Structure 1
Amino acid sequence: MAERLFGTDGVRGLANGLLTAELALDLSVAAAHVLVERGDFERPRPLAVVGRDTRVSGHFLEAAVVAGLASAGVDVLLLGVLPTPGVAHLTSALGADLGVVLSASHNPMPDNGIKFLSRGGHKLDDALERSIEARMGEAWQRPVGGDVGRVSTYPSAVEEYAAHLIATTTKPLAGLRVVLDCAEGAAFEVGPRALAGAGAEVIAIHSSPDGLNINLGCGSTHLEPLQAAVREHGADVGFAVDGDADRCLAVDADGNVVDGDQILAILALALRERGQLASDTVVVTVMSNQGFAAAMAEAGVTVERTAVGDRYVLEEMRRSGFALGGEQSGHVIMSDYATTGDGLLTALQVLERMAVTGSSMADLAAVMTRLPQVLVNVTGVDRTRVGSDADLAAAVAREEAELGTTGRVLLRPSGTEPVVRVMVEAPTPDRAAAVADRLAGVVRERLAL
């Protein structure tokens, strides 16, 4: 393998193209070997739980993963269709030694992915992923007879995860009408069940998956249907999750988008008011809007920034014991309740804030004012030279000096492609676009391949 197989969120690619049944089986065997060598099991054999989203390819990939694990002596519980955070929760709640999620999250239907979770429901760190890659294809002593793993279904997975979500709320949500866009994905059953169980009136849309329609013109990457449904039904608020429901975006009663930064601001103030915002700190990525930082500074909340990717937010939260973090895209992590981003948990916590304060979503979101933000992807360039080209650095410095405290510039090389992302925030959209275009031109000129 010339490049690392694992990306920032597991192994992901075209199902039956890059991500074949053979690869899924080999990955699972290697993961089992790494797991077995760690030892310290409460049972005669290690236990793994496996969940998936609604993609049609999930069936054959699930079969391959289960075959790999069981052939390596690991017992397997099949959770069926369940969001990524649901698999993480049950990995912990059932005392499993390994969790496996088959999902490509917000990617189009033809893609799929494999994510491994360690004991306790945490995403694997880089060292463990490297260990799994290193063990792929090695010769091994296969267990036989009674030493092979057992495979069984776990039919109460949806019920138990919904109960966990409902238990995170303390005030009934009666009187709140909410539209939930399930993205034809893993939340189609548990999402409406959890929100209704907490007392809300729920109107579910895109909740009839057929294996082919996941994320298709719906969910957190396509908010137009949600905006229309909220207005049509006179709902108080709408939420949209993605295919594996680990992220969530919202719209207010008028259909205005409430992004991840605004959701984090709402939850940061709610947790601080309850004395649950550890160290009065929230963790975000470098892409978080400067308007968020300004609102938090005014409220006396410290903002810690990480590289882009929810795994980096999670790492900082775990390292420093912080309770809240997330991304502008809607990944929100509340470590008192979950080990990963959880779109349904996020929706419930925002709904509870609405119920407790009696405020509308628009009023709650107004705690911060978003600076106009423009992102330009410059393709066909040498991303490795972003930090070393003197002329590019000078151009960035000139633009930053012109913006002063009214905006900011961020140049971010892609981790996998010949792309440099130019992000600019400024007082007006036109000014942000003008600065971004100028810098994109310098990037093309200086870093062209």
Structure 2
Amino acid sequence: MGKYFGTDGFRGEANIDLTVEHAYKVGRFLGWHLGKNKKRPKVVIGKDTRRSSYMFEHALVAGLTASGANAYMLYVTTTPSVSYVVRTEQFDCGIMISASHNPYYDNGIKLINAKGHKMEAEIEDQIEAYIDGEIGELPFATKSDIGRATDYASGRNRYIGYLISLATRSFKNVKVGLDCSNGSSSSIAKNVFETLGAEVYVINNEPDGTNINTNCGSTHIEILKGYVKENHLDVGFAYDGDADRCIAVDENGMEVNGDLILYVCGKYMKEHGALNNNTVVTTIMSNLGLYKAFDKAGIDYEKTAVGDKYVYENMSKNGHGLGGEQSGHIIFSKFATTGDGILTSLKVMEAMLEQKQSLGQLVRDVEIYPQILENVKVRDKKDAREDADVIAAVEAVEKELGEDGRILVRESGTEPLVRVMVEAKSHEICREYVDRVVKVLRQKGHVIE
């Protein structure tokens, strides 16, 4: 992980940690770098609904065109749509302006390579060196070599058409709730589901620049849970700010997180001969109950570090077709190279409709272990995680849990947090062990109160 770029791009509070100068320099470097092998590189840019996304969009465009690249604006759209447009329409690079599930005052710059994958770390390292003045000033394009900016909303429309084309049958007579998190999916999801014939009930789809992710979306699933129950809906789907995540709600108002979605889709794909290598790729955060359910269903699995980037790397390397995270990043490699919340909801609908079962029925065989995840704000993530007393406390918990649970303590890839997670047979046991480790972090002075 670099100085600026984490597991999911360059992210921080707008004009504090991530400034317009940073964005301009990212554009300058990319335009110059891509132009070394091609006179007029093409870069497509999308953004979410944060107020600061507009200024970052303009700063990136200024940097790109000053270095001789052409910039194509999708405007408000989803991260997976940028990936789709890049790989299907021969762009040299894609940029998504978003801080995903973070609060509105944060923002981020996600870089996507020509294959629609997250940008290589080596390129991000070079950008960081340029930002920090370790690379000399780059030449400006002049005269007719200066790039230009173009409206490219048509690319987003083609992505919508692609999503619609993936449905295997009509959604007629199905009542579907959508929580768009006042974010990127506000401009896409309702259109897709209505076109497919669903009776659509939408909430949190009126972005104002400051309400993205605010008590809504996949990180506040309780809102959609209540909405589905109150309106007697058949299913609900909640997305995050840039719509690369999806968390579902069944007909009873129960949460169906990424682990359960992997089970539903993995089992369905296996039964239809579509689960490559009979394997689902998960991360170390997936629940023990998921693995027990996979064992019972005869499905193999692999575990990666946290981050859909690592999930996709494993899938690509080994030819697996399905992978994802408990947080709702789900990747179907036949259809996309990144997590795609709307695509995920369409695949869940397929499993329901083709098997003529409700979502609640499809997940009933999975017994999820109680889990508590506490995000602890710390002064220095590395120092906190590598503290000898913290390590000793974690090892003691591991020994006491044995095979009846597990503890995982890791650094956040995007925020100043240490995440302490415990799974065990009861909520009370989880709470006891989480508190024990957090107490040591606090006693050692790592925690910001």
Structure 2 length-normalised TM: 0.92
CA contact (8 A) 1:237 1:252 kept: yes
Q: Aligned-pair distance for 1:73?
A: 0.9
Q: 1:194 is matched by which residue type in structure 2?
A: V
Aligned to 1:262: 260
The separation in 1 between residues aligned to 2:91 and 2:220, in whole angstroms, is 35
1:57 aligns with 2:52: yes
Contact 1:70 1:151 in 2 (8 A): yes
Asked if the contact 2:32–2:68 (Cα under 8 Å) also holds between the matched residues in 1, the reply is no
The residue type paired with residue 28 of structure 1 is G
Helix, strand or coil at the partner of 2:126: helix
Q: Which amino acid aligns with 2:84?
A: H
Q: What is the deviation of 1:198?
A: 2.5
Q: Which residue of 2 aligns with 1:19?
A: 18
CA apart distance, 1:192: 0.7
Q: 1:261 to 1:140 in 2, by over 3 A?
A: same
- In the alignment, the residues of structure 2 paired with residue 167 and residue 280 of structure 1 have an alpha-carbon distance, to the nearest angstrom, of 26
Q: Within 1, Cα distance between the matches of 2:358 and 2:80?
A: 27
Deviates more, 1:399-408 or 1:304-313: 399-408
Find the counterpart in structure 2 of residue 211 from structure 1: 209
Corresponding residue SS for 1:92: helix
Considering only aligned residues, what root-mean-square deviation do their CA atoms show, in Å? 2.3
Cα shift readout 1:286-329 (whole Å, capped 9, x = no counterpart):
11111111111111212211111221112212222211111111
Displacement after TM superposition at 1:217 (Å) = 1.3
The answer (yes or no) to whether the contact 1:281–1:324 under 8 Å persists in 2 is yes
The residue aligned with 2:229 is 231
How far 1:384 sits from its partner (Å)?
4.0
Matched with 2:88 is 93
Mapping of residues 410-421 of structure 1, within 5 Å: 410-414=408-412, 420-421=418-419
Shift of 1:412: 2.1
After TM superposition, the structure 1 stretch with the greater mean CA deviation from structure 2, 374-383 or 340-349, is 374-383
**Residue 369 of structure 1 aligns with which residue?**
367
Task: Give the deviation of 1:259 after TM superposition.
Answer: 0.9
SS in 2 for 1:352: helix
CA shift digits 1:120-173 (9 cap, x unpaired): 211112112112222345322222111111221113233211111112222222
Q: Which amino acid aligns with 1:411?
A: V
Q: Does 1:113 align with 2:112?
A: no
How far did residue 397 of structure 1 move? 4.5
Aligned match of 2:31: 32
TM-score, length-normalised on structure 1? 0.92
C-alpha change, 1:187 and 1:388, in structure 2 (3 Å) is closer
**Match in the other structure for 2:175:** 177
The equivalent residue for 2:99 is 104
Task: State the Cα distance separating 1:405 from its structure 2 match.
Answer: 2.3
* Contact 2:304/2:310, CA 8 A, preserved across alignment: yes
**Aligned pair partner of 1:294 in 292, 295, 305:** 292
Q: Distance in 1 between matches of 2:321 and 2:308?
A: 14
Asked whether the equivalents of residues 245 and 330 of structure 2 are also in contact (C-alpha less than 8 Å), the reply is: yes
Task: Go from structure 1 to structure 2 and tell me whether the alpha carbon gap of 1:17 and 1:382 turns closer, same or farther (over 3 Å shift).
Answer: closer
The worse-fitting range, judged by mean Cα deviation, of 149-158 and 335-344 is 149-158
Equivalent position amino acid for 2:349 in 1: L
CA contact (8 A) 2:369 2:424 kept: yes
Asked if the contact 1:374/1:429 (under 8 Å) is kept, the reply is yes
Q: Helix, strand or coil: the match of 2:50?
A: coil
Partner AA of 1:189 in structure 2:
S
- The separation in 1 between residues aligned to 2:213 and 2:225, in whole angstroms, is 16
**Cα distance in 2, alignment partners of residues 119 and 284 from structure 1:** 25
The number of residues matched between the two structures is 443
Name which of structure 1's ranges 428-437 and 371-380 shifts more when overlaid on structure 2: 371-380
Call closer, same or farther: CA 1:266–1:416 in 2, change over 3 Å: closer
State the 1:341 CA deviation.
0.6
Alignment gaps of 5+ in structure 1? none
Distance of 2:5 and 2:380 partners within structure 1: 24
Alpha-carbon distance in 2 for matches of 1:232, 1:376: 30
The DSSP-based 3-state class of the residue aligned with 2:185 is: coil
Q: Which has the higher mean CA deviation after the structures are superposed, 136-145 or 98-107?
A: 136-145
CA distance 1:223–1:421, change in 2 (3 Å): closer
* 1:108/1:440 CA distance change after superposition, 3 Å: closer
Q: 2:200 aligns with which of 173, 181, 202?
A: 202
Structure 1 Cα separation of the partners of residues 349 and 415 of structure 2 = 39
Equivalent AA in structure 2 for residue 296 of structure 1:
F
Assess if the C-alpha contact under 8 Å between 1:101 and 1:115 holds in 2.
yes
Q: What secondary structure sits across from 1:188 in the alignment?
A: helix
Query: Aligned partners of 2:16 and 2:394: how far apart in 1?
Result: 41
Hey, what does 1:250 align to over in structure 2? 248
1:21 maps to amino acid: V
Tell me, in whole angstroms, the C-alpha distance in 2 between the residues paired with 1:8 and 1:67: 26
Deviation at residue 245 of structure 1 after TM alignment: 0.3
Q: Report the Cα offset of residue 53 of structure 1.
A: 0.8
How far does residue 256 in structure 1 lie from its aligned partner after superposition? 1.1
Matching residue of 1:271:
269
Residue of 103, 128, 137 corresponding to 1:133: 128
Structure 1 residue aligned with 2:67? 72
Unaligned runs of 5+ in 2: none
Pair 1:156–1:110, CA change in 2 (3 A): same
Against the structure 1 CA distance between its residues 286 and 211, is the aligned structure 2 distance closer, same or farther, given a 3 Å change threshold?
Answer: same
In the TM superposition, what whole-angstrom CA distance separates every residue of 1:336-390 from its partner, at most 9, and x where no partner exists? 111111000001110111111111111112232110012234546774475673x
Amino acid at match of 1:338: A
